[in-house]
Structure 1
Amino acid sequence: MDANEVRERYERFARQEAPGRSDRYAEWAEGVAGDERIAGILADLPAPRRQPPLVFAVTRLLGVGLGGYAEWAEFFLANAERIVAECAQRTTQTNDPLRCAPLLVALSRVRGPIALLEVGASAGLCLLPDRYAYRFRDEDGSETALGDGSVEIVSELRGGLRAPRRLPDIVWRAGIDLHPRDPRDDADRAWISGLVWPGEAARQERVDGALDVARADPPLVVAGDASAGTALADLAAGAPQDATLVITTPGVLPHLPHAARTRLHEEIAGLPARWITIDPPALYDAWDPPIDAESWDGFVLAMDGRAIAQTDPLGAWIRDA
């Protein structure tokens, strides 16, 4: 891989993705974009394993401080072999519980009881939508409160979208992930928590709080590839027969190669289940009705391939489709 491609990726991250979220990550990415030494080392990694948020999280996991780029680069070069090895076996797995706000909007359309199955579940934080508290803010300033959990999820409703009126009746929940993370394990908790970008204080509090909720009563999350073999069907077979099986893929599909996404779509379609997803509009070419990705605002919240709403990728706002 050409190191110039790495430098272009980090330059784009510094210019388009980090501003407004993390000044520190923006500085680090800008530094890598101008550093041929580090870009050359990262070029040996596959593209998914050298993404800025993943590389930066790995360096933090291994002990780098939150100083300026010169300090970060010195640490990287002194620990390059360890960093590359860690990046090669890790993926971004935050799965922010804020995504439960749009999930709740979709789940309110499903007749319960519900058997909830998440693909790419990580530590299971998005398998617990009934255990959080919610504040849905309307554009006129009014709010709808729902639930009484210790973690508060705040989301803005736009375009006249109505807030859910009840929490889902979830009687069974399970997840599948290539590398499940256990919220009771200190190392796994440190990884999930460390994926939050520096400067995202509210998100850090939300993720850490959700890890505590999951630790108290962790959902079942099994290791496996949902797009291969019968792993997904085998897990789904454990759901109660008298519950509506709902499979969710919140934010996971962009991380899969096209062939794997196609196989996963086919696997889900072959099961007696509803499918809820949160995806970029250009990622899926079978939306019903078709979606103009150029004019669509945010990601697509969809049920069974049909758009329900436009949404912020993490769920900070939701707009009626």
Structure 2
Amino acid sequence: MNSRLSDAFRAFAVPECRETSPLYCSLTEAIAADAEMLQIAGQARDGQPVPNLLFAAVHYLLVTSPNHPLAEYYATCTPEPKDPTQAFPAFKDFVLSHQQEIVDLLQTRLVQTNEVRRCACLFPAFMHALRHFDPQPLALLEIGCSAGLNLLWDRYRYAYDDSGKEYGDPTSPTLIRSEFLGKRPAGLDDSPPLVTQRIGVDLHPIDVTIPTEVDWLRSLIWPEQHDRRQLLDAAIRQQQEVELDLRTGDGFADVCAIAAEIPHDTLLCIYHTHVANQISREKRETFLETVRELAHHRDLLHLYNNLHDAHLRLQVFRRGILTRQTLANTDGHGRWLEWLA
């Protein structure tokens, strides 16, 4: 048995999905103890979070053929799912009967969850960061952009409690709900910025005009989480009305070339969330050095997590001077944030 992969599944069960997906929690614990399932899961490409990828592959296939008994446990296939603790025999049967299709997905697809609710963390972070500068046009550069939905953080509406108070774009059809744990940052009510460029870079950007690509995005969302799918669908509709520049490539390696395209009277805003943990330590350090070199020639913001830890962090380069801030502790799905700055 692959003990390393088994440990990865057990680790996924406890912090990731115990409280948010009873089905995946139960399945994860069973997979961790099943050598046959681990052997199949282990065929995923290097660098990918294997539990997420395996569950997405199964989910993707299951919703297109929901006649298998496994569908009776998935909230995306039935309004009254069965007891999730009894789902593993049907899950294993489905995987074995679709083994080649699943392996193909494990070897060709990526975990590119375009978690729109993370914009509830990006919005206050950027509004706080922009207070370091005079008003000016922004060029957004998101690394690991998936479908580019988080390039529209300034175009959404936000509610952080039940008071009825909303922030962001009051005309947006996409309302994102989240919660502050404790204090709120200054800047939430500031005038929205003028964004003149929205560039997203991904190893495999997702084109939401292709139905199968949207199906893959939806499959990455856990079955019980209907609100996440509804938010994804709303953001996709809005994304199709905005001009985005989505590129195939390695954003960590390409940042210098892309920055050269940005006019110097435009503030470059580089950001990435839940992606830097998928690159090597050496590559992270090279990227940070590149950002520092860029800052010798222009002002810029760098907003990120998962380079060193899970905190949302900010680097402000203004006139060559670096200011670092730890902004927030955040939920991975954007359901809450604890402001620390």
What's the TM-score bracket when you normalise by the shorter of the two chains? 0.7 to 0.9
State the SS of the aligned residue for 1:193.
helix
Q: Which amino acid aligns with 2:99?
A: A
Q: Deviations over 1:104-147 (max 9, x none)?
A: 22222324311111011110011001221111339xx6734332
- 1:133 paired with 2:152, answer no
Note closer, same or farther for the CA distance 1:222–1:317 as it changes in structure 2 (3 Å cut): same
Unaligned runs of 5+ residues in structure 1 are 285-292
| Shift, 1:263, TM fit | 2.2
| Shift, 1:5, TM fit | 2.2
Aligned to 2:35: 36
State the SS of the aligned residue for 2:264.
coil
Unaligned runs of 5+ residues in structure 2 are 74-86, 317-323
CA distance in 1 between partners of 2:23 and 2:303 (Å)? 31
Matched pairs, number = 302
| Shift, 1:80, TM fit | 2.0
- 1:318 paired with 2:337, answer yes
Tell me which of 301, 313, 321 is aligned to 1:275: 301
Q: Which amino acid aligns with 2:270?
A: I
| Shift, 1:46, TM fit | 4.7
State the SS of the aligned residue for 2:160.
strand
CA contact (8 A) 1:104 1:167 kept: no
State the SS of the aligned residue for 1:157.
coil
Q: What RMSD in Å do the two structures reach over aligned CA positions?
A: 2.3
CA distance in 2 between partners of 1:92 and 1:123 (Å)? 12
CA distance in 1 between partners of 2:311 and 2:122 (Å)? 13
CA distance in 1 between partners of 2:231 and 2:291 (Å)? 30
- 1:153 paired with 2:152, answer no
CA contact (8 A) 1:299 1:312 kept: no
Aligned to 1:290: none
State the SS of the aligned residue for 1:264.
helix
- 1:224 paired with 2:243, answer no
Q: Which amino acid aligns with 2:10?
A: E
Q: Deviations over 1:66-85 (max 9, x none)?
A: 43222221121122233222
Q: Deviations over 1:46-90 (max 9, x none)?
A: 553462111110122233654322222112112223322221222
Tell me which of 197, 205, 211 is aligned to 1:186: 211
Q: Deviations over 1:216-261 (max 9, x none)?
A: 3351110011233xx2222223323321111111222122222222
CA distance in 1 between partners of 2:43 and 2:337 (Å)? 39
| Shift, 1:44, TM fit | 4.1
TM-score by length of 1: 0.85
Deviates more, 1:22-31 or 1:43-52: 43-52
Tell me which of 172, 185, 197 is aligned to 1:172: 197
Note closer, same or farther for the CA distance 1:112–1:158 as it changes in structure 2 (3 Å cut): farther
- 1:240 paired with 2:263, answer yes
Q: Which amino acid aligns with 1:263?
A: T
Note closer, same or farther for the CA distance 1:262–1:211 as it changes in structure 2 (3 Å cut): same
CA distance in 2 between partners of 1:184 and 1:44 (Å)? 29
Tell me which of 236, 252, 272 is aligned to 1:249: 272
Q: Which amino acid aligns with 1:277?
A: L
Aligned to 1:302: 314
Aligned to 1:7: 6
State the SS of the aligned residue for 1:137.
coil
CA distance in 2 between partners of 1:160 and 1:49 (Å)? 35
Deviates more, 1:49-58 or 1:60-69: 60-69
CA distance in 2 between partners of 1:249 and 1:215 (Å)? 22
CA contact (8 A) 1:134 1:145 kept: yes
Note closer, same or farther for the CA distance 1:218–1:54 as it changes in structure 2 (3 Å cut): farther
Deviates more, 1:258-267 or 1:198-207: 258-267
CA contact (8 A) 1:49 1:88 kept: no
TM-score by length of 2: 0.80
Deviates more, 1:171-180 or 1:62-71: 62-71
Aligned to 2:288: 265
CA distance in 2 between partners of 1:248 and 1:273 (Å)? 14
Q: Which amino acid aligns with 1:274?
A: L
Q: Which amino acid aligns with 2:315?
A: M
Note closer, same or farther for the CA distance 1:105–1:261 as it changes in structure 2 (3 Å cut): same
CA distance in 1 between partners of 2:173 and 2:61 (Å)? 31
Identity of aligned residues (%): 28
Note closer, same or farther for the CA distance 1:131–1:308 as it changes in structure 2 (3 Å cut): same
